[in-house]
Amino acid sequence: MAATMTIRMDPAVKAQAQKVFADLGMDMTTAINVFLRQAIRYNGFPFEVRNPEPNALTYSVLEDVKHGKNLSGPFDNVDALMKELNA
């Protein structure tokens, strides 16, 4: 006898996932069962789960902030901010 599972997810994520799985010839239930069986087999996630490391641009911006370079503002009002952003 099959067990029933109810999950909540973002409708856009669900639609995108359903398209991916349909392209692979399976429905959402089959895809979730594949994932769960692989998780059991690997005794954890069947793929790497981690926060991505910051890229070179992020490191550059962090260095600028640390040294007070390439900064704008503070702004007295939204109009001044928008003017700077659109410059």
Query: Collapsing DSSP states into helix, strand and coil, what is residue 22?
Result: helix
The domain spans of the chain are: 11-42, 56-85
Q: What share of the chain is helix, strand, coil (3-state, %, to 5)?
A: 55, 0, 45
Phi and psi dihedrals of 54, rounded to 5?
A: -60, 145
Q: Is the pLDDT of residue 1 over 90?
A: no
Q: What is the pLDDT of residues 31-87, one digit of tens each?
A: 999 999 999 999 999 999 888 888 888 889 889 999 988 887 788 999 989 988 887
* SS3 category, 26: coil
pTM of the model: 0.57
- DSSP string of 33-65, one letter each residue: HHHHHHHHHHTS-SS---PPPP-HHHHHHHHHH
pLDDT of residue 7: 95
Whole-number pLDDT of residue 5: 93
